[in-house]
Chains A and B, each alone.
Chain A
């Protein structure tokens, strides 16, 4: 069976021609099966977000892409603008990091949720409103009818992030892409939002690609963990391997060591120096 998403030897390059080339992704390959949850961890600048955006061709327009991305067997780089729009609208939902920045402040929540139905008929639009109410209820927002009439600035970050998750699920996508959806939230809200994503995607059988720099979080949420470093996937793990300590790449070990641990007293958390693992597999 073909996987739902197949990223094959993906390279992403800025510049070229008269300017200095800068390659930010070096042959990234992975697959996501239907219903599977894959987590990508890595530090800032490791290429996680670029990889995620390339999946729906949202990479910067001045970047060049080599390699192939296949969604349900269809090549994304080969798609026409129209097909891309349809892919983004109907099949892939996205949740971004900072909900207050990612949602247009001038439109009401109700308009935001049902926006992709604006060009449809009256009945579809009415159904969309009903569906928005249902989804707000499912993302555990109290009094959904009132929230539909609110403006984004009237809601808290946690509430708004739930709204964004609801918006991503409006058209029943088969793949959910989440780009550090919990980083802008406080710790308690983070846990709630992660639990919510886990529940919702399990109920629907939606595939998930979840980006974070929190390796333990990914271990709890995902079926498979990809560790990215400097534009490459350096290691693939299952949660069992992660928790059993079967780690082969030193960068993964370093990432784990950077986490604060309540059971151990330390003066300082270790930091990973820039380019510390440049030499590939050599242990420091």
Chain B
């Protein structure tokens, strides 16, 4: 497509230094965000009611000797900042501590559950992109009746809470039709995908509706622009006008919503994994929270935030590719 690769005004001088600087700044920013977030989570956990030592001891909760021993073992007797320092140095050495519920190292606990969650989010993301974009595009091209019909369906999909969607899907597709399993994660990639289909649909449904709406609005908006009239006036065929000018430019608002949706999908795994009994990071987080498993909650939350940040960074990079006007290190 690019016909000429001559030197551009924006890349005059040392072309890569600007890009590297941007990336370095970006990474530093992400590290700082993670640090702040992890500290806030740490403090919030300490402030929350309930005491992990009591839960661990169960019936022996009153025994002062046992309480003292456990407090020393998990550093609960030390000041908050020191405890946080322990966690942080451990993190830098790849040691996230030990779960006192599962009696297992937190890193291996999380590592075992990441694939399920990652696959679930990826599956859901693909569904949102394909389904949401396709429906939105169809609605933008369709006549009044079809457009209104789609719009009503989208409103319903948007307004239905995730757990209701989960119940309906399980009832229809698992209990009546018996097409998909209700429970568990499955084996092998195909088995996993089969098991993950209903959860992914549940996760993606309302996001797809949001995506479809934004796509429809963005395409309609872009169609009315002057540069599209120019493209028609220049004798480009309908397909080229639609692809190269209308949809191409509509990708900007679509990318914005995709970033928000990506973050929402990650957060949504917490509910969906529980509803479908999947052993992912989200269900691990819920289990850990109910049992005051500090080490697990802390690391899992930070991991989820890191995933958030990565999605955001990815969207920013996409932005630069899609709209030359937003490229940094730019015109002057």
A41 close to chain B: CB less than 8 A: no
Chain A: interface secondary structure? Answer: helix
A74 close to chain B: CB less than 8 A: no
**Binary contact readout A148-174 vs B (1 if CB under 8 angstroms, 0 otherwise):** 111101100000000000010000000
Shortest beta-carbon distance from B265 to chain A in Å: 27
Which residues in chain A, 60-98, are within 8 Å of chain B measured between CB atoms? Answer: 81, 85-90, 94, 96, 98
Q: Are the C-beta atoms of A151 and B325 separated by less than 8 Å?
A: yes
Q: Which residues of A contact B248 (CB under 8 A)?
A: 104, 106
Q: Are the C-beta atoms of A106 and B232 separated by less than 8 Å?
A: no
> Looking across the interface, which residue of chain A has its beta carbon closest to that of B239?
A119
Q: Are the C-beta atoms of B235 and A103 separated by less than 8 Å?
A: no
B225 close to chain A: CB less than 8 A: yes
Q: Are the C-beta atoms of A98 and B226 separated by less than 8 Å?
A: yes
Say whether, besides A105-B324, A110-B4, A118 and B233 are in contact (CB < 8 Å). no
Q: Which residues of B contact A115 (CB under 8 A)?
A: 231, 234, 236, 240, 244
Docked complex Cα distance between A81 and B236 (Å):
11
B221 close to chain A: CB less than 8 A: no
Docked complex Cα distance between A222 and B249 (Å):
38
Q: Which residues of B contact A90 (CB under 8 A)?
A: 235
Q: Which residues of A contact B20 (CB under 8 A)?
A: none
> Looking across the interface, which residue of chain B has its beta carbon closest to that of A96?
B230
Q: How many A-B residue pairs lie within 8 Å, measured between CB atoms?
A: 101
Q: Which residues of A contact B322 (CB under 8 A)?
A: 106
A58 close to chain B: CB less than 8 A: yes
* Size bin of chain B's contact surface: 20 to 34
Chain B: interface secondary structure? Answer: helix
A116 close to chain B: CB less than 8 A: yes
B145 close to chain A: CB less than 8 A: no
B7 close to chain A: CB less than 8 A: yes
Docked complex Cα distance between A151 and B227 (Å):
14
B75 close to chain A: CB less than 8 A: no
Shortest beta-carbon distance from A264 to chain B in Å: 37
> Looking across the interface, which residue of chain A has its beta carbon closest to that of B225?
A101
B1 close to chain A: CB less than 8 A: yes
Q: Are the C-beta atoms of A149 and B7 separated by less than 8 Å?
A: yes
19 A-B pairs within 8 Å (CB atoms) are namely A58-B233, A85-B235, A86-B235, A88-B235, A94-B230, A94-B233, A96-B230, A101-B225, A103-B227, A104-B227, A105-B323, A107-B244, A108-B2, A110-B2, A129-B3, A148-B4, A150-B8, A151-B324, A154-B331
**Residues of A near any B CB (own CB < 8 A):** 56, 58, 81, 85-90, 94, 96, 98, 101-108, 110-111, 114-116, 118-119, 125, 129, 145-146, 148-151, 153-154, 167
